[in-house]
Amino acid sequence: MQFRVAILGCGTVGGGVARILLEQREALGERAGREVVLARIVDLMPDASAKRHSIPRKFYAGDGAELTPAQADAEIKKVLQDPNIDLVVETIGGSGPEILAVARGVLEAGKHLVTANKALLAKHSADLLTAARKNGKGVGFEAAVSAAIPIIKGLNECLTGDEIQSISGIMNGTSNYILSKMTAEGEGFADALRDAQAKGYAEADPTLDINGGDAGHKLTLVLRLAFGLELAFEDLPRQGIDTVTAGDVAFAHEMQGVIKLICHAQRVGDAVHAAVCPMIVKHTNLLSKIDGATNAIRVMGRYAGEIVLIGQGAGSLETGSAIVSDIVFLARHGEHALPKVATTDFDLRPLGELELPYNIVFETADMPGMTGIVTTAIGRQRINIDTVSHNRHQVDHAEFAIATMSCTRAQVEWAVRDIQANHPGALLGEPRILPILV
């Protein structure tokens, strides 16, 4: 018996899915236990998509070179009404009401849904999973978090016998490429971003990548699976990389580390402390070695210990392979493949409440005794100092960094307020504070 698949949206990701389904048809059928067939593709630009991905035009809906939005909507309705289509892959993108209606409509039409749409899932996964259970269908979203890295199945299946203690990961390739470029070549953020755009690692509008939004969507999904947290995407603290300077990168190097945009979550008792933010990752941590657009996720289990998954977090065939793995899994197991998310009473708390080492970059008036003033204020907050960097003098001001031992963010901020209150004008702007991941 055939298992027939339709694809809605055949751009970069959808094209990769279609190619794999066609090229690996026999092997996929053996793994699924039945023949997996590409039945239909709906795309606004069918001729261009077919040519770009080397897919026979016969698979596409419509006869012309393009479909109007109204024609595309009509073709999507035909797919949903077709009783011979078992599964729909949504690779249109977006998280607005229209795409939510399409995704929900797939499940309500009695078809399985597979998507890489992390923004949609971060905001509406509860809605979609409810619709899936009601209609006895499965939802696959392995590709929504770091594409080719099998973290969703890892958390949903392989680690269900463990108790997750912490997760830290590089889940956005664009930001990692930019920070790697700044580290390797000493470039400023603006130059590194332009290079990333020129090489296709960053979009023309890179906002979601550089402000932590994309990584936040992924961490939201991971938090739900790993810890059973019922959280809204908007509740997750996020800080991007657009304020990271070449000076910050140099100080990180001096502190034996590199700056990475990290998705971090750590369980302490009945609380989970989580955030997306730039962190200085010590060279002793494997994540410090992950450069370019590569992603990596480090899971610490109570029993299994450290598990690190490394792979490509984007790309047509890379993301496509994760989607196809969901298709095969659903062809074999149907609604039993639905993620089993056990909700908990864990409380989501800010990462700053954890005791972590911090690196603080101070820009001060170039005057004698400033290092002593700063270190004294830090000591008054009962913060132990690990390392003090060399001063970098520039005309009428200086910069230096202090790496602390473990403390809370509030302690660091009280030390800063102490300096500002007792030595007005000594600090030329707010210090730049980054947590350190050891």
Half-sphere exposure of 150 (CA within 13 A, CB side): 11
Tokens 């590194």 belong to residue: 192
- For residues 203 and 410, what is the distance between their CA atoms, to the nearest angstrom? 36
Other CB atoms within a 10 A radius of the CB of residue 200 amount to 8
- For residues 262 and 276, what is the distance between their CA atoms, to the nearest angstrom? 6
- For residues 39 and 214, what is the distance between their CA atoms, to the nearest angstrom? 31
The residue type at 206: P
> Is 359 in contact with 386 (CB distance < 8 Å)?
no
> Is 173 in contact with 313 (CB distance < 8 Å)?
yes
Smallest CA-to-CA distance from 185 within 256, 291, 277 is with 291
Smallest CA-to-CA distance from 348 within 255, 229, 238 is with 229
- For residues 136 and 124, what is the distance between their CA atoms, to the nearest angstrom? 18
- 181 counts as catalytic: no
Smallest CA-to-CA distance from 155 within 216, 125, 145 is with 145
Tokens matching residue 156:
């949903």
- For residues 124 and 151, what is the distance between their CA atoms, to the nearest angstrom? 20
- For residues 52 and 344, what is the distance between their CA atoms, to the nearest angstrom? 46
The residue type at 335: E
**Active-site position among 218, 260, 282, 289:** 218
> Is 88 in contact with 79 (CB distance < 8 Å)?
yes
Residues in the chain, total: 438
Smallest CA-to-CA distance from 173 within 308, 311, 12 is with 311
Smallest CA-to-CA distance from 128 within 101, 151, 152 is with 101
Other CB atoms within a 10 A radius of the CB of residue 54 amount to 11
Active site residues: 218
